[in-house]
Chains A and B, each alone.
Chain A
Amino acid sequence: MNRVSLTGVLCMALLLAACGGKNDASGDEAITVPKDPFPSTYTAYPNVAVFISNATIIDGTGAKIENGSLLLVDGKVSAIGKDIEAPADAKKIDASGRWVTPGIIDNHSHLGAYPSPGVSSLSDGNEISAPVTAEVWVEHSVWPQDPGFTRALAGGITSLQILPGSANLFGGRGVVLKNVPSRTVQGMKFPGAPYTLKMACGENPKRVYGYGGGRFPGGAPYSRMGNVAGYRAAWIQATDYKRKWDKYEKEGGDAPTRDLELDTLKGVLDGDILVHMHCYRADEMAQVMDISKEFGYKVTAFHHAVESYKIADKLAEYGACSSMWADWWGFKMEAYDGIKENIPLVHKAGACAIVHSDSEVGIQRLNQEAAKAWADGKKVGINISEEEAWQWLSLNPAKSLGIDTKTGSLVPGKMADVVIWSGNPFSVYSKADQVYIDGALMYDRSDATRRPVSDFELGQPGEGDLK
């Protein structure tokens, strides 16, 4: 039995749903690449109808409702507005003085892959063995017992993207999770979310490879031009691979030999996998946009994007999101030109702005990071309302992850991913009181039974403490 037919047998035995089953000219079962070999097992936890009234509601689409009501039924947003009737069986929450928003979505996290505690045996975020490791999938590194997930939940995070690190030109596949505690990663995976691919510009790949400090054999890339050559060479291979598969799918014959790395790159060229690219400098982002045009794919979001403000017009025209910090800067040369008004300047140019964390600390208060950027913009005359700015925290990251039709705003029919805040979430003093995911109450600050504790923290100092 050769490798190809083995794949075919496995495919038929294990993955019928994913394998399709069209016959080729010879009558044999056609070989296809399984698209979802580690399927989500997440389903919403039990919920009751919830009626939240007298709240200041930011709906996530850019609107605000004073003294509004929100009805959650069957895990979905059922109704939102000022004049909604509370169903008799709904749990009623008087949110006077409190604010309600869509759950925050962080599209740049390494939780689980670089978990707490930060010991070497749990550090699984960078497969630095080669500059192109599109074959690795970060979900295979994610440790669901990372206590960081519970802290993020307390900060109102309802969905998040876990990415591989930025050592490599192609770091591997990212994964989108619902922020629900689970024994397995599959139990957290956002149902139906597309896969993503992490790529990286700039200093990190050339430092890790060319100047690997003796840890690695050395070799390309040593330079930014080496980086670009590395991307292009990989896309040339991927284009060839895709051509072979397209031909096979159309004409039959011998199936191409599968290649895990090229499967992922082909997924990008097919439009199934979204590219998320770590890129600080404006000039490099401009070049990456050209590379994407050369090979016929799209960069969905530039991450860190510390210099997006310099080319916000070009980013708007191209249609890429920028995932940014409010105020990180200076830790390396490509972060040297960081400014506090980056996020509002990108927004002002009509480009897609996102507040991201890249940090187990920052993910706990992305609302405050947005607030800082919002205020700094205002200080220089960029007047954006709070409700518009909230798009940086939920709808725009949802768009960047291909889940915006399902979550990211409080629109009837969407997932009931909701945070009730003790006050205005643009204040440092406000905290998430309750967090609903698919309508289920997954976090309640005032109720210890609704505050998850990871396995790691059981039996340790401070177990179950308010954090």
Chain B
Amino acid sequence: MSARHIASLIAVVASLVLPVAAQPVAIVGGKVWTGTRQGTVPSAVVVIDNGRVVSVNKAGSPVPLDATVIDAGGKWVTPGLIAAFSRTGIVEVDAEETTDDTSAGKSDYSVALDAADGFNPDATAIAVTRVEGITRIVVAPEASSNLFAGQGFVADTTGAVGTEIDRKAFVLISLGEHGASLAGGSRPAAWAQLRAALDDAKAYPGRYLASNEGTALDRVDAAALAPAARGQQLILIEANKASDLNAIMDFAAANSDLDIAIVGADEGWRVAPRLAKSGIPVIVDAFSNLPASFERLGATGENAARLKAAGVTVAIAAISDGTHNARLAMQIAGNAVANGLSHDDAMDALTTAPAAIFGLQGLGVIGPGSRADIVVWDGDPLEVTSNPDVVMIDGEVQSMVTRQSQLRDRYLKLDERERPLAYVKP
């Protein structure tokens, strides 16, 4: 495809950017993975109106007369994918501290640190992530002063200045080696801190009537932990070692009102039946298959498949590279398939599973009434050679232009005979 063709394709896509209540859109002829009981419809008509999916029917079903038609013949159509664990949009350049809002080791606060306060919809990684088919990002802060990283959020990837954010979607806590180190130097120190903090939060505000200080948390952090301590907010815990996962399940059993999910879980397969029984879902990175640390000795690429086979809810994310390459989640899921996970389960791990873990209503599926986050792909979405052709968020077709695509188009032809390339503005 020449640069001119790309330009015209961009123009076509741009012309499809419609205000939400304008007119219906029909995606016609694609192989639709719905994420619902409808399963995969080999050739379908998906009708979208008002930012919502109206219907998913077999090809040949009527298309509204006023609908804008997107031809998806020979292509895959999926729900917009969800990056189940990322740091997208809170960092521009990792090594430049001034652009990095992931952590604050010198802050007086921890649980109260709300990552959404650092969200930058202009971050270049957002468009880069969007054009790969990810329409929602779960964004987590990073633990740095103690084992409480703070509050995470969920956002769309429109990059709109006024992006709506689902704030305080969860509290992130680091256990394992990282948490132990942050809590003072050992796992016992981490658990002592966690139990004392939970106790403070449960006793909030009563314990703080006379003083700003609790046993482990000050007033501000105790207030921030209170919803999670009362089971009203998801607690996401980072841990990998089988014994750490068992300790979390003991803790969950003793505090049955808490809503807990685990991120990492590299040795999850070793305690998979108990995880399934506990109902605790996990977010895994299926690339992790090395004894990268002493808490990952049993890491294997088959972790996702074994967890799923045991009945655990499994989401897949690019945990180790979530600032700029959350987009690797699809390749990671594809590798999980190569290591025994079914294709449907891998798709679930990028859509319905994260939607269930984070309570994202109407997302991760294509069905009547669902939010119209939809991606049209030029091939199997898990295949490394596939790319999206159309990305839609809440019914609006999104721009496929990124800073990277502009750089690419500027340098497609290294011809400066007439003038410097700085005058080429794709």
Inter-subunit contact B289/A467 (CB<8 Å): yes
Q: Is A338 an interface residue (CB 8 A)?
A: yes
Q: Is B103 an interface residue (CB 8 A)?
A: no
Q: Which of B288, B293, B324, B387 has a CB less than 8 Å from the CB of A379?
A: B387
Q: Is B5 an interface residue (CB 8 A)?
A: yes
Q: Which residues between 356 and 411 of chain A lie within 8 Å of chain B, taking CB atoms?
A: 360-361, 364-365, 368, 371-372, 374-376, 379-381
Q: Which of B93, B290, B292 has a CB less than 8 Å from the CB of A336?
A: B93
Contacts of A332 in B (CB 8 A): 93-96
Contacts of A376 in B (CB 8 A): 387
Contacts of B324 in A (CB 8 A): 328-331
Size of A's binding interface in residues, CB under 8 A: 56
Inter-subunit contact A368/B93 (CB<8 Å): no
Complex Cα–Cα for A364 and B290 (A):
11
Q: Is B125 an interface residue (CB 8 A)?
A: yes
* A313-343 contact mask (Cβ, 8 Å, vs B): 1 or 0: 1000000000000011111110011111100
Q: Which residue of the partner chain A has the closest CB to B99?
A: A333
Inter-subunit contact A333/B95 (CB<8 Å): yes
Q: Which residues between 431 and 467 of chain A lie within 8 Å of chain B, taking CB atoms?
A: 431, 456-457, 460-462, 465-467
Q: Is B294 an interface residue (CB 8 A)?
A: yes
Contacts of A338 in B (CB 8 A): 404
Q: Which residue of the partner chain B has the closest CB to A328?
A: B325
Q: Is A86 an interface residue (CB 8 A)?
A: no
Inter-subunit contact A462/B300 (CB<8 Å): yes
Cβ distance B285 to chain A, nearest Cβ, rounded Å: 9
* A94-131 contact mask (Cβ, 8 Å, vs B): 1 or 0: 00000000000000000000001111000000000000
Q: Is A47 an interface residue (CB 8 A)?
A: no
Q: Which residue of the partner chain B has the closest CB to A312?
A: B414
Binds A, one of B111-119, B133-141, B331-339: B331-339
Inter-subunit contact A431/B338 (CB<8 Å): yes
Say whether, besides A339-B404, A376-B387, A462 and B298 are in contact (CB < 8 Å). yes
Chain B interface residue bracket vs A: 35 or more
Inter-subunit contact A333/B93 (CB<8 Å): yes
Contacts of B404 in A (CB 8 A): 329, 338-340
* B314-350 contact mask (Cβ, 8 Å, vs A): 1 or 0: 0000001001110110010011011100000000000
Binds B, one of A186-194, A243-251, A421-429: A421-429
Contacts of B384 in A (CB 8 A): 368, 371-372, 375, 426-428
Cβ distance A318 to chain B, nearest Cβ, rounded Å: 14
Inter-subunit contact B412/A427 (CB<8 Å): no
The B interface, classified by DSSP as helix, strand, loop or mixed, is loop
Q: Which of B270, B287, B405 has a CB less than 8 Å from the CB of A461?
A: B270
Contacts of A291 in B (CB 8 A): none
Q: Is A310 an interface residue (CB 8 A)?
A: yes
Q: Which residues between 291 and 305 of chain B lie within 8 Å of chain A, taking CB atoms?
A: 291-294, 296-302
Inter-subunit contact A327/B325 (CB<8 Å): yes
Q: Is A206 an interface residue (CB 8 A)?
A: no
Q: Is A349 an interface residue (CB 8 A)?
A: yes
Q: Which residue of the partner chain B has the closest CB to A348?
A: B412
Q: Is A148 an interface residue (CB 8 A)?
A: yes
Inter-subunit contact B93/A330 (CB<8 Å): yes
Contacts of A457 in B (CB 8 A): 291, 297
Contacts of B365 in A (CB 8 A): none
Q: Which residue of the partner chain A has the closest CB to B302?
A: A466
Q: Is A209 an interface residue (CB 8 A)?
A: no
Complex Cα–Cα for A467 and B299 (A):
8
Cβ distance A311 to chain B, nearest Cβ, rounded Å: 8
Contacts of A144 in B (CB 8 A): none
Cβ distance A230 to chain B, nearest Cβ, rounded Å: 21
Say whether, besides A380-B408, A460-B298, A462-B297, A333 and B96 are in contact (CB < 8 Å). yes
* B131-158 contact mask (Cβ, 8 Å, vs A): 1 or 0: 0000000000000000000000000000
Q: Which residue of the partner chain A has the closest CB to B333?
A: A428
Inter-subunit contact A371/B385 (CB<8 Å): yes
Inter-subunit contact A339/B407 (CB<8 Å): yes
Contacts of A428 in B (CB 8 A): 331, 334-335, 337-338, 382-384
Q: Which residues between 73 and 132 of chain B lie within 8 Å of chain A, taking CB atoms?
A: 92-96, 124-125, 128
Q: Is B189 an interface residue (CB 8 A)?
A: no
Which of B5, B92, B292, B385 gathers most chain A CB within 10 Å? B385
Q: Which of A309, A340, A364 has a CB less than 8 Å from the CB of B411?
A: A309
* B395-426 contact mask (Cβ, 8 Å, vs A): 1 or 0: 00000000011011001101000000000000
Complex Cα–Cα for A427 and B380 (A):
10
Say whether, besides A329-B404, A428-B334, A465-B300, A375 and B386 are in contact (CB < 8 Å). yes
Extra A-B contacts (19), CB below 8 Å, given A327-B327, A360-B292, A461-B270: A116-B290, A117-B291, A207-B95, A328-B325, A330-B323, A331-B324, A361-B287, A375-B384, A380-B412, A381-B1, A381-B5, A428-B384, A429-B334, A429-B338, A431-B338, A457-B297, A460-B291, A461-B298, A465-B302
Q: What are 8 A-B pairs at a CB distance below 8 A?
A: A116-B292, A310-B411, A329-B404, A332-B96, A364-B289, A372-B385, A380-B3, A467-B301
